[in-house]
Amino acid sequence: QVQLVESGGGLVQAGGSLRLSCVASGRYFRSYYIAWFRQAPGKEREFVSGVSWSGFTTSYSDSVKGRFTISRDNAKSTVYLQMNSLKPEDTAVYYCARRSIDVMTMHYASYDSWGQGTQVTVSS
């Protein structure tokens, strides 16, 4: 069974940066599509960014494009989300998720394993 553990969240001022990490345990990590989602209070979980198993194909939501960068290190079974120019509207719990099919989708129901989440709070 794959386990995903996120870290790196915290409190930061608007304009600041954070780097989130998602470490996976279990076999065949490099075969998975990995994505970051976020959920703010009272809102639905939304897709933020995703990366293919090779690391060469990445996707971003329009709200974070140009500010966030996703990457992965398969040797360390880790996916990173570098978040720059943070805005108060980025405040949410951030989750990483695994999809066993290496195809991007923004639909959270298509992901079969989730981490416990890490809180990101951006103050104005």
Q: pLDDT tens digits, residue range 40-89?
A: 999 999 999 999 988 899 999 999 999 999 999 989 999 999 999 999 99
Measure the CA–CA gap between 81 and 104, rounded to whole angstroms.
16
Q: pLDDT tens digits, residue range 106-124?
A: 999 999 999 999 999 999 9
Measure the CA–CA gap between 101 and 116, rounded to whole angstroms.
21
Q: How many CA atoms lie within 13 A of 97 on its CB side?
A: 26
Measure the CA–CA gap between 5 and 98, rounded to whole angstroms.
11
pLDDT value of position 100:
87
Is residue 51 within 8 A of residue 33, CB to CB? The reply is yes
**pLDDT surpasses 80 at 34:** yes
pLDDT value of position 87:
98
